């Protein structure tokens, strides 16, 4: 099979096929408007539309497979540190010892933010959502650092962004607590440094727990990329206009914030808490989720691509038990989550629609046990997704065939009409 045949308006057109390395097939419609004199494809929500080809991440939603640059998410979570996964996603291969040492050192050295940026934090109300702070501050980085497009400048900004985002995130947490910000330390690893900036206080020493460090490492790795999801597609959309790295990623952070995307991790915990306060009647909430007249959905359930158990959720469900018991934390929300999952997965509505827990269903339980407040959950997702967004932005920029992203539409408004004087309207 080398082409697909389209019959339109009595004529036949052969459309070329494009095939990926895992055998997935796309029908190339780039010439469609030209050859048909104006017809376009119509696919709101882009469920059947490939917007690019990419060598970064592979997902098989039917089988529940997720790989970064060919490496399974399971092996990466077990055998690597997040900083190695950043390098893998952005530069294509896991780093050698030398590369890792250089890259790790660079990311550590750039962790401080410009002192003037600290003043911004003073201006936000204490109740400011940390996602609002993160996206504005990441966008503001372009006011402080040259956004030149030569390869060296681009690589430096990539390092700056990876390094500084976690400082901004931790400072936004300190702001919400009314505590002084804590500066990074160059002797700590990426994850330890973040935990230090989040939880250290000038009045008492803070030691990073190895259990919390390991859990954070795994969470960041599991969130690191997910091919053309809403926020990554946003980063590519904005970046396609030749906008700089910082503002393109800031746009992705905003897209992630929505409760149907990364904001679901905060929404899951709020939902579980609500169910607990309401007496723990799981069935009532499963029924509400099934009722089409009720806008309620089971947060942390369902996925556009996975029609099988989300492999990230599988790992997180397994880890939740271990992390909580190692930290000596008992959380009634974990029991509610498990019971809700059990009831939903036995229900015909969820079975028929292949609705399984997604990455956001169990991640919040682990963040809570680590002492991270609910409002910070989506920020944690953003920190994890950062290397993925950067990799896609870089891949798009390096591709000489990239054009500005500009979809078409089917117009359904009024036909041409006269502008009448006010008295005659």
Residues of this chain that bind ligand CMC (CB under 6 A): 229, 260-262, 264, 289, 297-304, 353, 355, 358-360
String of b and e for 74-104 (b: at least 16 CB within 10 Å)? bebbeebbbbbbbbbbbbeebbeeeebeebb
In the complex, the smallest distance separating the C-beta of residue 224 from ligand CMC, rounded to whole angstroms, is 13
In angstroms, the CA 93 to CA 69 distance is 7
Choose the catalytic residue: 173, 225, 360, 392: 360
Judged by CB, which is closer to ligand CMC: 326, or 339? 339
In angstroms, the CA 164 to CA 254 distance is 18
In the complex, the smallest distance separating the C-beta of residue 342 from ligand CMC, rounded to whole angstroms, is 16
Judged by CB, which is closer to ligand CMC: 217, or 363? 363
Report the residue number whose CB is nearest to ligand CMC: 302
Choose the catalytic residue: 110, 196, 303, 392: 303
Judged by CB, which is closer to ligand CMC: 107, or 380? 380
In the complex, the smallest distance separating the C-beta of residue 232 from ligand CMC, rounded to whole angstroms, is 10
315 exposed, middle or buried (CB, 10 Å; 0-12, 13-18, 19+)? buried
In the complex, the smallest distance separating the C-beta of residue 166 from ligand CMC, rounded to whole angstroms, is 20
Judged by CB, which is closer to ligand CMC: 297, or 338? 297
| Sign of the four-CA dihedral 212, 213, 216, 221 | negative
Judged by CB, which is closer to ligand CMC: 243, or 256? 256
Rg (CA), the chain: 23
In the complex, the smallest distance separating the C-beta of residue 219 from ligand CMC, rounded to whole angstroms, is 13
Work out the end-to-end distance of the chain between its first and last CA atoms, rounded to an integer number of angstroms. Answer: 59
Query: 303 an active-site residue?
Result: yes
Phi/psi class of residue 150: alpha, beta or left (left: φ > 0; alpha: ψ in -120 to 50)? Answer: beta
Catalogue the active-site residues.
303, 360
């Amino acid at each position: 099979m080398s082409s697909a045949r389209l019959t339109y308006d009595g004529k036949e057109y052969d459309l070329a096929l494009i095939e990926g390395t895992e055998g997935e097939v796309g029908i190339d419609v780039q010439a469609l408007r030209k050859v048909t004199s104006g017809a376009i494809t119509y696919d709101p929500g882009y469920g059947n539309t490939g917007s690019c080809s990419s060598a970064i991440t592979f997902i098989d939603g039917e089988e529940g497979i997720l790989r970064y640059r060919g490496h399974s998410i399971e092996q990466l979570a077990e055998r690597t540190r997040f900083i190695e996964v950043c390098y893998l996603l952005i530069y294509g291969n896991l780093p050698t010892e030398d590369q890792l040492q250089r890259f790790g050192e660079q990311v550590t050295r750039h962790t401080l933010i410009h002192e003037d940026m600290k003043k911004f934090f003073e201006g936000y109300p204490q109740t400011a959502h940390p996602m609002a702070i993160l996206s504005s501050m990441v966008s503001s980085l372009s006011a402080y650092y040259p956004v030149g497009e030569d390869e060296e400048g681009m690589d430096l900004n990539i390092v700056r962004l990876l390094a500084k985002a976690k400082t901004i995130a931790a400072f936004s947490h300190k702001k919400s607590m009314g505590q002084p910000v804590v500066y990074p330390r160059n002797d700590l690893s990426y994850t330890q440094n973040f935990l230090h900036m989040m939880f250290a206080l000038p009045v008492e020493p803070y030691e990073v727990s190895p259990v919390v460090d390991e859990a954070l490492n795994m969470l960041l790795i599991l969130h690191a990329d997910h091919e053309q999801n809403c926020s990554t597609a946003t980063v590519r959309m904005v970046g396609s206009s030749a906008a700089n790295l910082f503002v393109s990623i800031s746009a992705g952070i905003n897209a992630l914030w929505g409760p149907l995307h990364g904001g679901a991790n905060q929404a899951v915990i709020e939902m579980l808490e609500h169910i607990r306060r309401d007496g723990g009647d799981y069935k009532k909430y499963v029924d509400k989720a099934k009722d089409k007249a009720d806008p309620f959905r089971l947060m942390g359930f369902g996925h556009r691509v996975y029609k099988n158990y989300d492999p990230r959720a599988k790992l997180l469900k397994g880890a939740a038990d271990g992390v909580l018991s190692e930290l000596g934390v008992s959380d009634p929300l974990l029991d509610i989550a498990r019971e809700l999952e059990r009831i939903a997965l036995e229900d015909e509505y969820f079975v028929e629609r292949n609705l399984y827990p997604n990455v956001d269903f169990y991640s919040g339980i682990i963040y809570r046990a680590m002492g991270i407040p609910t409002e910070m959950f989506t920020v944690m997702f953003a920190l994890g997704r950062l290397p993925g967004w950067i990799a896609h932005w870089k891949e798009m920029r390096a591709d000489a065939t990239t054009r500005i992203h500009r979809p078409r539409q089917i117009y359904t408004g009024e036909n041409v009409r006269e502008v009448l004087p006010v008295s005659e309207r």
